[in-house]
Every structure is written in structure tokens, then in C-alpha cells.
């Protein structure tokens, strides 16, 4: 006699599929946001007013700061000489770094989520580097009003900090 037996569907396949669908939906939503036109002779108040009109659209994406990065990046590319552009770019990267830092703090507080054999010294060093980055991005928001080159230097410095090779020590038990 034949019996039918249903095999369980692996959960990781469903998770991967839903992650992919959500990523595509978010990308399509972000592509609909258009950069507000800003004349070269616009005042700082004009620039902030034009961005303020985008606020309702951007608020919907608060949880998706990473997806918003292309918008201030394009604005910075179009208006490189404007401190408002570096401030907006710095603010977006600050929010990304803050979101990531908060997630890392959650992982650090829940030990079962950590890699078992990663040394405590490495965990401390990674945490310091992350919060240093958050602080530098926060500084970059305001530094552009002194000189846009200070903000640009901070952005490049953070890239260098993260791309420098680091020694990772793992603890092994034998």
C-alpha cells in the first residue's frame, strides 16, 4: 500500500525567497523618489525646503536607510560644493551606521547570537570601531558647514578604517 508523506520545506529557502522579494520591492520604491531640483543660486533655506517636501516619502523608509543611500549620493554628486549636500549624505550614513550599531549591540547582549570562538578582545575592538564610525558620521553632518572637504575627508577616512586588514584571533579548544 502506498502512503503519501509530505516532506517539510526547508525554512532557509523560504527566508531567502522572501528576503529577495522584499529587496526588490524596496529598490523599486526607492527608485520612485526623485531628487528635487535646486538652482545654483539657491539659499540654504531653499535647499532644506525642497528636501522637506520629500520628508513624507522618506519617513516611510526609515527602517531602510541603506536603500536611501543613492538619493543623497546623487545629490552630493550634483551639488558637491554645497555643505547641505555633505550634511544630507553624512546624515544618511550616520543613520545607517546607527542602525547597524544598534543591531550589533543587540547581538552583543544576546550571547547565543555571537560567534562562539571569537575572542573577547576582537569583540571589544569591533565595537570601538563601530561606535567611532557612528561618531565620525555624526561629526561629518556639521563639519561640512566649516568646509566640505572636512566631511569628504571623514567619509574617506571611514572607508580606510574598514578596508584596512585586521588580525582576527579565534579561540580553539583542544
Q: Any long-range contacts for 24-29 (C-beta under 8 Å, 24+ apart)?
A: 26/61, 26/64, 26/67, 27/67, 29/60, 29/61, 29/67
**Sign for the pseudo-dihedral over CA of 53, 54, 60, 66:** negative
Sign of the CA dihedral running 154, 158, 164, 170: positive
Q: Is residue 171 part of a domain?
A: no
Within-domain flag for 3: no
Task: Spell out the per-residue pLDDT of the chain, length 174, in tens.
Answer: 556 555 555 656 666 777 777 777 767 666 666 777 778 788 888 877 777 776 666 655 555 677 778 888 888 999 989 999 999 999 999 988 888 888 788 777 777 767 767 777 878 888 899 999 999 999 999 999 999 999 999 999 999 988 887 666 555 665
Residue 48 lies in a domain: yes
The answer to whether position 19 is within a domain reads yes
Domain span at 23: 13-163
DSSP 10: P
* Residues whose CB falls within 8 Å of the CB of residue 79, separated by 6 or more in sequence, listed in order: 38, 85
What digits encode the pLDDT tens for the residues 108-130?
Answer: 777 776 776 777 787 888 889 99
For residue 90, give the H/E element and its range: helix 83-109
Whether residue 109 lies inside any domain: the answer is: yes
Residue 62 domain flag: yes
pLDDT digits (tens, 9 = 90+) for 57-81: 665 555 567 777 888 888 899 998 9
With respect to residue 128, please indicate whether it lies within any of the assigned structural domains. Answer: yes
Which contiguous run of DSSP H or E holds residue 36? none
What is the number of domains present in the chain? Answer: 1
Q: How many helices (H) and strands (E) does the chain have?
A: 8, 0
pTM of the model: 0.66
With respect to residue 80, please indicate whether it lies within any of the assigned structural domains.
yes
Phi/psi of residue 39, nearest 5 degrees = -65, 155
Amino acid at each position: 500500500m502506498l502512503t503519501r508523506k509530505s516532506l517539510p520545506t526547508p525554512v532557509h529557502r523560504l527566508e531567502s525567497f522572501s528576503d529577495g522579494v522584499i529587496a526588490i520591492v524596496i529598490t523599486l520604491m526607492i527608485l520612485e523618489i526623485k531628487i528635487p531640483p535646486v538652482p545654483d543660486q539657491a539659499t540654504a533655506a531653499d535647499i532644506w525646503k525642497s528636501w522637506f517636501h520629500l520628508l513624507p516619502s522618506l519617513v516611510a523608509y526609515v527602517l531602510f536607510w541603506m536603500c536611501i543611500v543613492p538619493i543623497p549620493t546623487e545629490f552630493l554628486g550634483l551639488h558637491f560644493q554645497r555643505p547641505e549636500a555633505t550634511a544630507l549624505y553624512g546624515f544618511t550614513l550616520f543613520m545607517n551606521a546607527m542602525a547597524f550599531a544598534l543591531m550589533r549591540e543587540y547581538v552583543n547582549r544576546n550571547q547565543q547570537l555571537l560567534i562562539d570562538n571569537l575572542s573577547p578582545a576582537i569583540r571589544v575592538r569591533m565595537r570601538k570601531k563601530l561606535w567611532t564610525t557612528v561618531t565620525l558620521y555624526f561629526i561629518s553632518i556639521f563639519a561640512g558647514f566649516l568646509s566640505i572637504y572636512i566631511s569628504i575627508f571623514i567619509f574617506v577616512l571611514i572607508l580606510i578604517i574598514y578596508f584596512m586588514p585586521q588580525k582576527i584571533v579565534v579561540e580553539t579548544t583542544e
